[in-house]
Amino acid sequence: MSFKKSKDFFLFTFERISVIILAKKEGWLVTDYEVEKDVKEALRIIRNGFSVPRFLVQSDYSKVFAFSNEWIPGYLPYFSIANQPALTITGSLDQALFLAQNGASSIDAFDKNPLVKYYGELKLAAIRCLSREEFLEFIPTSDNPDASFSPKICNEIFYEMPEDAQKFWFSIYRNVKDSSKITNLFRTEMVPLISDANYYSEENYDNLQKRLNQINIRFYTADFSSLPQCILNKKGYYGTILLSNIFDWGDFRPYGAADYVTELHSFYSVVEHVVKPLLTDDGVCLARYYFGDHRDDVETFMEHHSLEDCPKEYVKVRGVPSVDLYRKSKFLGND
């Protein structure tokens, strides 16, 4: 066991003990109601090893993607990102990190799952503070689950997180005796570990560290159809909006409607009337990322959302059918 004096207390660097002593010396436990609730739900998922499907229970809590399984570099060329604000789903935070890497001036990230903001803050702190090798050891991956979430490494990034994230992660470590079990909180299947175009590749990681010290990423816990007013007030503000496959995770089917096209119409109505006004005059929204959906009624409805056949009146509301991504990418998936 080793120890060092830090911030007027002894910080032990031996597995999870260091995190507990740090938090006790700081003089707080989890008292905020929302954080306390989020901790409770996260611990339930970690201990059970699964999250209950949302179609069985009315809950926004679910497992978090450690990394995106979208081929994000495949669609980013359709956007003018540099020096412009961006709005994106939070998810694994990968969309936001790619936006940062490509020069976005600021990023607002939203997600209905309350747990993703804590992971987002943890991931940001890890990239800012850790070497690439330490980052890939610390963040859970399908190839390296047992070495993930080392409390010793967590100590190095703890003060880089805001207070609510510090409270959340302290409580997780305090209640989970074996820190490798924290990986139960994440979905790591179908995720490519290393890609030549990834922000955590050897040639990109150092640049991303610098970029994250230059921009601000703000997190919002909110549903797509009920964005906070502070975002809705930003009319004509965002040059890029990325919605990923949010359609597949939401409920856009009006009561009593049984057909898929009705659900699509409902979704794109929100895009048209809520999201589109947030774009700059030449901004672009990725309204939908999906693959493998070849139903005739869907193809008919989505025809005008094709990247290559998109009429001018829909230039701000482009969908991304699989056929377009398939021609350009080596890996397909949905986040």
The string of pLDDT tens digits covering residues 176-232 is: 988 888 988 988 664 544 444 578 888 899 999 999 999 999 999 998 888 999 999
Give the strand pairing for 3-6 and 9-12: antiparallel
pTM value is: 0.77
pLDDT of residue 96: 97
pLDDT of residue 145: 59
Residue 216's φ and ψ, nearest 5 degrees, are -115, 130
φ/ψ region of 258 (left if φ > 0, alpha if ψ in -120 to 50, else beta) reads alpha
68 Cβ contact partners less than 8 Å away, ≥ 6 residues apart: 91, 92, 94, 95, 191, 333, 335
Q: Mind listing the domains of the chain with CATH numbers?
A: 68-113+216-335 (3.40.50)
Q: Taking a C-beta distance cutoff of 8 angstroms, is the pair 152, 187 a contact? A: no
Render pLDDT for 98-127 as a digit per residue (tens, 0 to 9): 999 999 999 999 999 999 999 999 999 999
Q: Taking a C-beta distance cutoff of 8 angstroms, is the pair 316, 284 a contact? A: yes
A 10 A CB-CB count for 107 gives: 24
Six-digit token string for 28? 């707080």
Six-digit token string for 277? 């006004």
pLDDT of residue 267: 80
25 Cβ contact partners less than 8 Å away, ≥ 6 residues apart: 7, 8, 9
pLDDT of residue 72: 81
Residues of the chain with pLDDT under 50: 1-30, 55-57, 190, 192-196, 291-335
Structure letter (DSSP) for residue 180: G
Six-digit token string for 231? 């975002």
